[in-house]
Structure 1
C-alpha cells in the first residue's frame, strides 16, 4: 500500500498521481539498476587501447574526431541513432578507413573493437541489494527490462529475475519513442496502463512511458528539481532509492 503524501516525503517517496492496479514492472537498466558511467568509461578505454595496439594509426584521432565521424554517419544513416552497437561498429570501421586502412582491415578492426567494448560493457554483476529488491517484486509482478543500451542482461545477473529485456535496433526506436513500451505490453499481453515503468531519466523513461499510457516511477536519488514537464507528464511516483519500490506491494 502506498503511503500518504506526507509520509512519502519523509521516506523518500513522493506521489504525484495515484497508481492504478498494474500487472508488470519494466525497468530501465543503465543508471537505474547500476551506475553506468564508470562501466562505459572503462569499456571505451579498453576498446581503444586494443585498437591502438593492433591499428596504430587509430591513435592519431582524438575522441572529438571519432565523435565527429559518428555524427556524420548518423546523418547519412539515421537508423544508427537507434542502435548503439551498429553505430559503434560503423564509426570504428569508417574511422579506420579514413585513417588509411583497407576495407577488410577496417572491418576486422571495427569488429575487434566492438567485441572488446561489449566484453567490458557487461563485465559486472548487479549488486545483491538491488537483486534482493527485484526478487521481492518478482513474487508479485512480472519484471522486464527496457533499455536504450546494449548491456548483456544475462551476464550481469538479470536473466534470473526478468522475463525479457528489450533493446532498440532493427527498426525498434530508442526511448522516449514508444516502440519498446508497446512491444513489452504486446509480449506480456497487457494494456499499457497495466505496465509500471521505473527509470532515472525524466524524458526517456517518464515522458516516453506516459506518452503510450504506462504508469511511471522516477528514480531520483540526487533529489533533482521537479520536472519542468506539464502536470500530465509528471511521474506517478518519485523515489530516491530503488528499495522503496517494495512499498508498492
Structure 2
C-alpha cells in the first residue's frame, strides 16, 4: 500500500508502555502515602474501596471524561474529606499519585523504535491519559504532546485529531495515527480522515466490519521497519473526515 506519511500521532498508554503495572503501582504508592500522612483516610479507603469510589466518580462526572487529572483529584478530595483529614494534604497526595503514574516500564521495543521513527518523521503524542513525557524522559522524541485535558475533548472525537494535524501543518490524510485502542485510536483516527496503524501486541482479531487499519503491527519496531523501507514520497490518497 503506497501512501505518504508526513507525520505521526502516537498514543502512549498500552502503545509505548503497558498501563496495568502503572495502575497497580499507583494503588500501592497512594495507600502507603496515606498510611504515613493520613492513617484514618487509609483505614476508611483501602485500595479496593478507593478503586470503587474512583470508578463511581468517573461514571458520575461524564463532563470530565477528558480530564483524568481532575477526576483523580476529585476522588482524593472525597476520600480526605470523608475521613476528616487536613485538606492541605490534597496536593501532596496528588503529587504522590502523579509521580507513580510517570514511573513507566516501556515495552522492550519501544525506546529503540521511537528513536528510529522520530528520525524519519515528526512524532506528536496524542493521548487521553495524563502522562508527562518530560518526567518520563522521552520528550526529545516528540515535537509536542496533545492531551485530551488540554484540548477539552478525548479521542475518538475527530476534533482532537484535527487539532494535532493543524499543529503539525499537515493535511489529515498525510498523518498516520498509531495506537492500540480499536475505537479511540483506529476508528477515531479513521473517521477523522487520518491514516491508521493498529499496534496489536496481544494478537487480537480485528472484528470491525466497517473499517480496517491501514497498517497493523505487533510492536512499534514493526512500524519503524515499515517506515525505513517505505517511500514516504508516494502520493497521498486524500480522505475526508
TM-score over 0.5 for the alignment? yes
Q: 1:110 aligns with which of 80, 83, 90?
A: 90
* Large movers: runs of 4+ above 6 Å: none
1:37 corresponds to which of 3, 15, 20: 20
Q: Provide TM-score, normalisation by structure 2.
A: 0.84
* Structure 1 residues 103-142: aligned runs within 5 Å: 105-106=86-87, 108-124=88-104, 126=106, 129-142=109-122
Give per-residue Cα distances to partners, 1:89-121, cap 9 Å, x unaligned.
1111022212333xxx23x22212210111121
Verify the 8 A CA contact 1:79 1:171 in the aligned structure 2. no
| Counterpart residue number, 1:46 | 29
- How far apart, CA to CA, are the structure 2 residues paired with 1:94 and 1:179? 32
Q: Quote the residue 2:180 is aligned against.
A: 200
Q: Match of 2:40? A: 57
Computed over aligned residues only, the root mean square deviation of the Cα atoms, in angstroms, reads: 2.2
Taking a change above 3 Å as real, the CA distance of residues 19 and 173 of structure 1, as seen in their structure-2 partners, is farther
Q: For residues 14-25 of structure 1, what are the structure 2 equivalents within 5 Å?
A: 18=1, 20-25=3-8
Tell me the number of residue pairs that the alignment of Structure 1 and Structure 2 aligns. 226
Contact 2:12 2:126 in 1 (8 A): yes
Match of 1:247 in 2: 226
Asked whether the 8 Å contact 1:198–1:219 carries over to 2, the reply is yes
| Structure-to-structure mapping, 1:199-238, within 5 angstroms | 199-226=179-206, 228-231=207-210, 233-238=211-216
What is the CA-CA distance between 1:48 and the residue it aligns to? 2.3
Question: Do 1:90 and 1:110's aligned partners in 2 also have CA atoms closer than 8 Å?
Answer: no
Do the aligned residues in 1 keep the contact of 2:6 with 2:122 (CA within 8 Å)? yes
Offset at residue 31 of structure 1 (A): 1.1
Retained in 1: the 8 A contact 2:18–2:106?
no
Shift of 1:27: 0.9
Provide the C-alpha distance between the structure 2 equivalents of 1:125 and 1:64, rounded to a whole number of angstroms.
Answer: 24
TM-score by length of 1: 0.82
8 A Cα contact 1:177 1:208, kept in partner = yes
CA deviations 1:171-210 (Å, max 9, x no partner) are 5222122232111111111111111011111111101111
Q: Is the 8 A contact 2:14 2:180 kept in 1?
A: yes
Whether the aligned pair in 2 keeps the contact of 1:223 and 1:240 (CA below 8 Å) is: yes
